[in-house]
């Protein structure tokens, strides 16, 4: 059994309520920070922990905090990104739904470190019922003196508000989120200036993912160095993985970053293997934007090493043969699934979610969707594959925000690793309407070149 720092108490009855959460040791990090530590000392512990942003980018949290500008007399803001919308990702929802006080506690401790007296949770509009759960937790924290004025006699004031979005994946991008929180369309801003200097209402702002802020609680309770002892290398601590697709046990798992991908998929402690006695064909290990890998490259790196559930190992081989940890949205495809159709649904998603600000993304996502639908429907031409490749190359790196890259990568990786499945769809168009390509060679052992 791996260590659990976030969800270890999530199954306790009524942990959603303040009294139970407090009885189980909740809000200790707030007491420790506000009574015994300076704000900078809290940031220092987060730096020592090696915590990396859990939303997808994996940027070191302590470093992000240290960039926050602190001009005299200007308010600073902490904004929690709960706009969880990356296909395959449903971990923040789980955390907020089952153990909401963990997020509130993390926000108070983090706000103290950052000097933010007003913090917001920006939650995707569809999670409407979770707003009620969070607002109840906030009210309870306030009734018990953990929010409001002069918390625990420390002189520190803090309020937390919940803001609902209204259906826009793009608002998970931090500057689009801030635009939305200001009551505008979710069009990402040109950076610099970064939110740390000019964020919400032009004030210095830190935007962090739900899981990142929750992780501050065990870091302060146990100390940054202790937290950093869990995991391998720069992948410290625990990570929530939301596993879905064709596996036996779909759900949210907290892993310490020491297990292999194979163990995660096949162990009964986690996914429990592939559902219905089928075989593993492919997997997107970190949310729909990261490269899809065939079974063989998923379980073993191109160097022949066992692939681990860490930031470094999942990315081993770069985009040529690796993928990314991303948001931890783990999507598994069995041997009855069609990579072309799956890629089409993702292309449709990105076309739907493009904000329309940059031409390469606005136009390119539409073209990719149309071409993929043609191939899926047996109307594709062989030149379409190269055309898709050309379009995704022209989107990547040519947009204001990373949505362009996020839309390009899934198409690129699908062609890179499953080109023959695309070709088969085109050369055997009629047959492709009746059956799927199947597993073919995608789980075969990889040829590892040996050097003399």
Neighbouring CB atoms inside 10 A of 194's CB total 17
Instruction: Work out which of 50, 56, 62, 88 binds other proteins, going by CB under 8 A.
Output: 88
The interface with other proteins within residues 22-81 (CB under 8 A) comprises 75
User: Is residue 127 involved in binding other proteins (CB under 8 A)?
Assistant: yes
Instruction: Work out which of 26, 50, 100, 245 binds other proteins, going by CB under 8 A.
Output: 245
User: Is residue 339 involved in binding other proteins (CB under 8 A)?
Assistant: no
Instruction: Work out which of 61, 89, 212, 313 binds other proteins, going by CB under 8 A.
Output: 89
Instruction: Work out which of 43, 49, 61, 85 binds other proteins, going by CB under 8 A.
Output: 85
CA–chain centroid gap for 99, Å, is: 18
The helix/strand/coil state of 7 is: coil
- How many residues belong to the site for other proteins (CB under 8 A)? 56
CA dist., res. 318 & res. 67, Å (int): 28
Task: Find where tokens 């892993």 sit.
Answer: 255
Q: If you write DSSP's letter for every residue of 69-93 in order, what string do you get?
A: ---TT--EEEEEEE---STT--HHH
User: Is residue 149 involved in binding other proteins (CB under 8 A)?
Assistant: no
Instruction: Work out which of 48, 348, 362, 394 binds other proteins, going by CB under 8 A.
Output: 348
Instruction: Work out which of 66, 136, 267, 345 binds other proteins, going by CB under 8 A.
Output: 345
Q: How many CA atoms lie within 13 A of 24 on its CB side?
A: 19
What does the per-residue mask of binding to other proteins show for 186-205, with x meaning CB under 8 A?
x--------------x----
Cβ(127)–Cβ(166) below 8 Å: no
Cβ(303)–Cβ(336) below 8 Å: no
Part of the chain binding other proteins (CB under 8 A), chosen from 19-27, 104-112, 209-217, 239-247: 239-247
Instruction: Work out which of 8, 24, 126, 262 binds other proteins, going by CB under 8 A.
Output: 126
User: Is residue 254 involved in binding other proteins (CB under 8 A)?
Assistant: no
> At closest approach, how far in Å is the CB of 132 from other proteins?
9
Nearest to 284 by CA among 252, 306, 261: 261
Instruction: Work out which of 208, 212, 246, 354 binds other proteins, going by CB under 8 A.
Output: 246
Part of the chain binding other proteins (CB under 8 A), chosen from 177-185, 317-325, 426-434, 436-444: 177-185
CA dist., res. 306 & res. 362, Å (int): 39
User: Is residue 168 involved in binding other proteins (CB under 8 A)?
Assistant: yes
Neighbouring CB atoms inside 10 A of 266's CB total 18
CA dist., res. 207 & res. 224, Å (int): 21
Instruction: Work out which of 331, 395, 412, 415 binds other proteins, going by CB under 8 A.
Output: 331
> At closest approach, how far in Å is the CB of 182 from other proteins?
6
Task: Find where tokens 């089928």 sit.
Answer: 278
Neighbouring CB atoms inside 10 A of 37's CB total 18
User: Is residue 128 involved in binding other proteins (CB under 8 A)?
Assistant: yes
Cβ(244)–Cβ(88) below 8 Å: yes
What does the per-residue mask of binding to other proteins show for 356-375, with x meaning CB under 8 A?
--------------------
User: Is residue 435 involved in binding other proteins (CB under 8 A)?
Assistant: no
Contact partners, residue 295, CB within 8 Å, separation at least 6: 279, 280, 281, 282, 283, 439, 442, 443
CA dist., res. 181 & res. 334, Å (int): 40
User: Is residue 108 involved in binding other proteins (CB under 8 A)?
Assistant: no
CA dist., res. 366 & res. 354, Å (int): 9
List 60's β-bridge partners, or say none: 52
Residue ranges in contact with other proteins by CB under 8 A: 75, 84-90, 93, 118, 120, 124-129, 161, 163-169, 180-186, 201, 242-246, 250-252, 284, 288, 329, 331, 333, 337, 341-342, 345-346, 348-349, 352-353, 355
């Amino acid at each position: 059994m791996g260590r659990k720092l976030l969800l270890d108490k999530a199954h306790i009855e009524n942990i959603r309520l303040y009294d139970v959460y407090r009885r189980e040791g909740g809000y200790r990090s707030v007491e420790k920070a506000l009574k015994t530590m300076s704000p900078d000392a809290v940031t220092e512990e987060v730096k020592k922990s090696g915590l990396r942003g859990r939303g997808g980018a994996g940027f070191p949290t302590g470093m992000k905090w240290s960039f926050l500008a602190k001009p005299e007399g200007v308010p600073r803001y902490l904004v929690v990104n709960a706009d969880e919308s990356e296909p395959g990702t449903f971990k923040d929802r789980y955390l907020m739904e089952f153990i909401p006080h963990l997020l509130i506690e993390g926000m108070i401790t983090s706000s103290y470190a950052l000097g933010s007296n007003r913090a917001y949770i920006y939650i995707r509009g569809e999670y409407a019922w979770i707003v009620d759960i969070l607002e109840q937790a906030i009210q309870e924290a306030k009734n018990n003196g953990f929010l409001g004025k002069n918390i625990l006699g420390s002189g520190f004031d803090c309020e937390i508000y919940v803001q609902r979005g209204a259906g826009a994946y793009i608002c998970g991008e931090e500057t689009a989120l801030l635009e939305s929180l200001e009551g505008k369309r979710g069009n990402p801003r040109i950076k610099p200036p970064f939110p740390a200097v000019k964020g919400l209402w032009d004030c210095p702002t830190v935007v962090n993912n739900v899981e990142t802020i929750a992780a501050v609680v065990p870091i302060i309770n146990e100390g940054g160095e202790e937290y950093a002892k869990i995991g391998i290398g720069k992948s410290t601590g625990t990570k929530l993985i939301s596993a879905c697709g064709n596996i036996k046990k779909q759900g949210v798992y907290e892993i310490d970053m020491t297990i292999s991908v194979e163990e995660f998929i096949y162990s009964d402690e986690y996914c429990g293997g592939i559902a219905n006695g089928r075989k593993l064909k492919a997997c997107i290990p970190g949310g729909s934007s990261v490269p899809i890998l065939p079974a063989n490259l998923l379980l073993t790196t191109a160097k022949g090493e066992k692939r681990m559930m860490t930031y470094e190992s999942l990315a081993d081989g770069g985009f040529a043969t690796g993928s990314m940890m991303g948001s931890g949205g783990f999507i598994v495809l069995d041997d009855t699934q069609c990579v072309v159709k799956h890629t089409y649904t993702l292309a449709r998603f990105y076309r739907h979610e493009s904000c329309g600000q940059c031409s390469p993304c606005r136009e390119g996502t539409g073209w990719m969707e149309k071409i993929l639908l043609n191939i899926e429907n047996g109307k594709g031409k062989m030149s379409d594959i190269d055309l898709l490749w050309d379009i995704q190359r022209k989107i990547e790196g040519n947009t204001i925000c990373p949505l362009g890259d996020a839309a390009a990568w899934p198409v690129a990786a699908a062609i890179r690793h499953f080109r023959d499945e695309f070709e088969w769809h085109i050369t055997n168009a009629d047959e492709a309407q009746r059956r799927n390509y199947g597993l073919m060679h995608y789980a075969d052992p990889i040829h590892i070149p040996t050097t003399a």
